[in-house]
């Protein structure tokens, strides 16, 4: 299993991304100063790739565990399905990983892949906020570990 994480900004929800678009449109420079605008990530790639885990089922499992264990601001935060990782570095990373995995499709064991946006955290936010993020990620990883992988062909036919 390959799980990539990205920072989503000051939110109070963990977003499990379903689609990764073959499109860069950086509104601000990335850390290296790059600002690609309205261009493909991979000229030889499909328009989009999709997560190769059952995203909605995983999110439902996480939220059910949160409810069962008492969802509050200290112990955890909700998760949701997000339909796009955006058009900045997170989407670029998710698409590039998916494209690389697609080149391995002849292999017998292409690992499942999903990208997850987590809320930003700064020391001023305090320990409870960090604890909520990490608790939710623990539950998410548990749900991902127990989720069946989607059929191999489903990943490559979503074009």
Identify the CA nearest to 43 among candidates 2, 6, 96: 96
Question: Residue 115: which H helix or E strand, with range?
Answer: strand 113-118
3-state class (DSSP) for residue 17: strand
Kindly tell me the burial class for residue 130, based on how many C-beta atoms sit within 10 Å of its own C-beta (0-12, 13-18, 19 or more). middle
Contact predicate 93/6, CB 8 Å: yes
Dmax over CA atoms of the chain, in Å, equals 48
Which positions are annotated as active-site residues? 17, 90, 117
Token digits for 52?
Answer: 């190769």
């Amino acid at each position: 299993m390959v799980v990539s994480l990205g920072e989503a900004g000051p939110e109070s929800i963990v977003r499990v991304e379903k689609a990764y678009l073959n499109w860069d449109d950086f509104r601000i420079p990335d850390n290296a100063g790059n600002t690609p605008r309205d261009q493909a990530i991979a000229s030889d790639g499909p328009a989009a790739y999709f997560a190769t885990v059952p995203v909605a089922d995983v999110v439902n499992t996480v939220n059910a565990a949160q409810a069962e264990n008492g969802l509050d601001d200290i112990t955890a935060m909700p998760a949701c399905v997000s339909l796009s990782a955006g058009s900045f570095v997170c989407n670029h990373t998710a698409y590039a990983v998916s494209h690389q995995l697609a080149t391995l499709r002849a292999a017998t064991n292409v690992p499942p892949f999903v990208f997850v946006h987590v809320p930003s955290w700064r020391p001023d936010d305090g320990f409870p906020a960090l604890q909520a993020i990490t608790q939710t990620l623990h539950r998410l990883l548990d749900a991902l570990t127990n989720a069946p992988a989607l059929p191999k062909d489903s990943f490559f036919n979503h074009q």
